[in-house]
Amino acid sequence: MKFLYSDEPIIACSTCNHANAALAVLRISGFRDLSQFRAFFSHSGPIEPRRVYYTKLISKDEVLDDICLTYFEGPKSYNGENILELSIHGNTLNTERILKFFIEEGKCRLANPGEFTYRALKNRKLTLSQVEGLDLFLNANSGYALDQGLSLLSGNLQELYTELYDLFLKHKSALELSIDFIDDVGEETAKGYFDTSLLNFKNKFDSLSRRVVPMEHNLIQPEIVLAGLPNSGKSSLFNHLLKDERAIVSSIPGTTRDYLSESVVIEGVKYKLIDTAGIREATDLIEAEGIKRTKKKMLQSFFSVLLINPLEMREEFADLAQLKFDAVYFTHQDLRGFSEAHKKVINEFPQFGPMGAVDLLKSQDKLEVDLFSQINKKYSDLTKNKPILLDRHKLLISQIDSQLTVYVNLATYETDVAILSHELNILASCLSELLGIVSPDQILNSIFSNFCIGK
């Protein structure tokens, strides 16, 4: 509860403060009025909202920095509170010193993570969906996630949710209309409203629920997993893709004990590239743990690549053949006996072929082109139908889906309306979690704005 109403002024650095930069932006939010800060600024004229002022920041006659300040007066601000935005010089030490200055002057405390936005939620400047959209927007790893974040924040998805909500209210109103106002409208009209409004809601919802694809792959932070038996060349490929010597490459099997991960950008999408521990029946305890994690990683991954060295025919191939990979490559093409060994493996495990054989030393660039285009194709295919990314939304939409099925099976106009309305209330609670609340007043409002009622 303390967090809920601890509404004293807060301060934080809104830009990244991990490296020196030309500028840093500090925000102070939730103060009563500007006067308490006036002594810190050399600018002595009036400070009007939404205007930028160039001024010196002063601590007891000592100039701390040359800054630009902008005042956003609540409630017309990002989170509804009074906000002061300071553009300061972006040396990390300078930023730390100024933050410390404001806190020690007793004017504010350091904000908790997300607190500015939390206050926007509290002051109803943003809905929960919008907050989630903002989070997605700020932390997106791909153009698609970026788009969906923005779409939740202010665009189509938010609009779609609102439309869905309105259609729900219309149907709920139609049901209430048939109870409280039947004398005014008559049974025939009420039944008409009831049927049409249910159909409209269902159609709109179906178009939304089609966008919930049961995807094991996390599209918000997509991962590419490189898997294979020890010494199959995973780390070499990993390093090549990163053009870096991050993984320890050696010819002793089992060198990559756990897994390594790095970011790689393909066609504007940021992936996490993961080099796993080699899959084999390990005797080493640490390695055994690494292998367990590898299998788990693989199942959760967006794209999985298996590398096979056909020259080391192993019993683990049978295990691997049980798993599903997006791409399989045969390595060590440069070694003698590769062709026969390759054929032999394919014969025994047709699941692995036919796939390209690669010489890791000579044709890595070709492999890269091939692999990246496959990854990109999978990403475009999966995002083509605009899937919903956020787990909470996906979960709620499928809950609504199943409750709607229960309701639709029950919902003929002749059913006991009180029971119908009971089922509809359960639907409402899922819906309101997705987009806001359905209160009796809102339903009555909807009745009055859409229907003609009278004594």
Partner 1 sequence: MNTFDITIVGGGHAGIEAAQIASQFGLNVSIITMPGIGLGSAPCNPSVGGVGKGQVVRELDALGGVMGILADKAGIQFRVLNDSKGFAVQSSRVQIDKDLYSVEAEKLISNIPNITVVREKVLEIKPAADCFEVLTTERSYRTKKIIMTVGTFLNGKLHTGTSQVSGGRVGCEPSNGLTTLFSEIKTRPYRFKTGTPPRLDKNSIDYSKLEEQPSDPAVRNFHCLHEPFHRFSRQVSCYLAKTNPNTMEIIRANKEKSPMFNGQIKGVGARYCPSIEDKAYRYPDKNIHHVFIEPEGLELDTMYPSGISSSLPKEVQQDYVRSMEGLENAEIKVYGYAVEYDVIDTTDLKLTLEHVQIPNLYFAGQVNGTSGYEEAAGQGFIAGSNAALSLLGLDPLILSRHESYIGVMIEDLTSNTRDEPYRLFTARSENRLFIREDNTVIRMYPYRAQLLLNTPLDSYQRKFIESYQDLLEFCDETMIPETSPLMKEFEGDGELQQLTRRMSVTEILRQAWLNPVSALERLVGYHGLSIQSDLGRTVAISKKYDPYIKRSESQYEKLKKMDGMRIDWESIFASTNISFECRQRVGRIKPETFGQLKLIEGIRPATLAVVAAKAL
| Least distance CB 409 / partner 1 (angstroms) | 12
CB of 30 to partner 1, least distance (A): 6
User: Which lies closer to partner 1 via its Cβ, residue 274 or residue 430?
Assistant: 430
Nearest-angstrom CA–CA distance, 194 and 428: 16
Nearest to 258 by CA among 219, 281, 285: 285
> Cβ 417 to partner 1, closest distance in Å?
5
Q: Which of 82, 232, 276, 309 binds partner 1 (CB under 8 A)?
A: 82
Between strands 62-72 and 223-228, the pairing is: unpaired
Question: Is the dihedral angle over the CA atoms 100, 106, 107, 110 positive or is it negative?
Answer: positive
Q: Which amino acid is at 31?
A: F
Judged by CB under 8 A, the chain residues 16 through 75 that form the site for partner 1 are 30-32, 74-75
C-alpha distances (whole Å) from 181 to each of 83, 413, 441, 452 are: 48, 15, 15, 10
As given in the structure block, the two tokens for residue 126 are 């943003």
If DSSP codes are grouped into helix, strand and coil, which group holds residue 317? helix
Q: Choose which of 135, 163, 166, 184 interacts with partner 1 (CB under 8 A).
A: 184
Q: Which of residues 411-450 bind partner 1 (CB under 8 A)?
A: 414-419, 421-422, 425, 429, 432-433, 436-437, 439-441, 443-444, 448
Whether 420 and 115 have beta carbons less than 8 Å apart is answered as no
Q: How far apart are CA 195 and CA 201, in angstroms?
A: 10
Rounded to the nearest whole angstrom, what is the least distance from the CB of residue 453 to partner 1 in the complex? 5
Q: How far apart are CA 427 and CA 435, in angstroms?
A: 12
Piece of the chain touching partner 1 by CB under 8 A; list 85-93, 132-140, 174-182, 194-202? 174-182
Residue nearer to partner 1 on the CB measure, 133 or 233: 133
What would the DSSP string read from start to end of 46-85? ---BT-EEEEEEEETTEEEEEEEEEEE-TTSSTTSS-EEE
Q: Which of 130, 141, 178, 383 binds partner 1 (CB under 8 A)?
A: 178
Task: Single out the residue of 63, 182, 215, 265 in contact with partner 1 (rule: CB under 8 A).
Answer: 182
- Do 329 and 369 meet the contact criterion of CB atoms below 8 Å apart? no
Query: Between residues 110 and 419, which has the closer beta carbon with respect to partner 1?
Result: 419
> Residues 242, 224: contact at Cβ < 8 Å?
no
In Å, what is the CA distance from 83 to each residue of 77, 104, 373, 382? 7, 19, 47, 41
What is the nearest approach in angstroms of partner 1 to the Cβ of residue 395?
Answer: 15
Judged by CB, which is closer to partner 1: 116, or 238?
Answer: 116
* Furthest CA-CA distance within the chain: 95
Interacting positions 97-156 with partner 1 (CB under 8 A): 119, 121-124, 127-128
State which residue, 354 or 454, has the beta carbon closest to partner 1.
454
Q: How far apart are CA 442 and CA 356, in angstroms?
A: 62
User: Contact between 355 and partner 1 (CB under 8 A)?
Assistant: no
Residue pair 407/427 in contact by the 8 Å Cβ criterion: yes
Stretch that binds partner 1, among 177-185, 265-273, 297-305, 344-352 (CB under 8 A): 177-185
For partner 1, which is the closer residue by CB, 218 or 450? 450
The residue among 177 and 241 lying less far from partner 1, judged by its C-beta, is 177
Which is closer to partner 1, CB of 127 or CB of 276? 127
Query: Smallest gap, in angstroms, from Cβ of residue 384 to partner 1?
Result: 32
What is the nearest approach in angstroms of partner 1 to the Cβ of residue 413? 9
Backbone angles phi, psi at 423, to 5 degrees: -65, -35
Q: Binding partner 1 by CB under 8 A: which of 24, 55, 69, 80?
A: 80
* Backbone CA torsion sign across 93, 96, 99, 101: negative
Contacting residues toward partner 1, per CB under 8 A: 1, 3-5, 7, 30-32, 74-75, 80-82, 119, 121-124, 127-128, 176, 178-184, 186, 414-419, 421-422, 425, 429, 432-433, 436-437, 439-441, 443-444, 448, 452-455
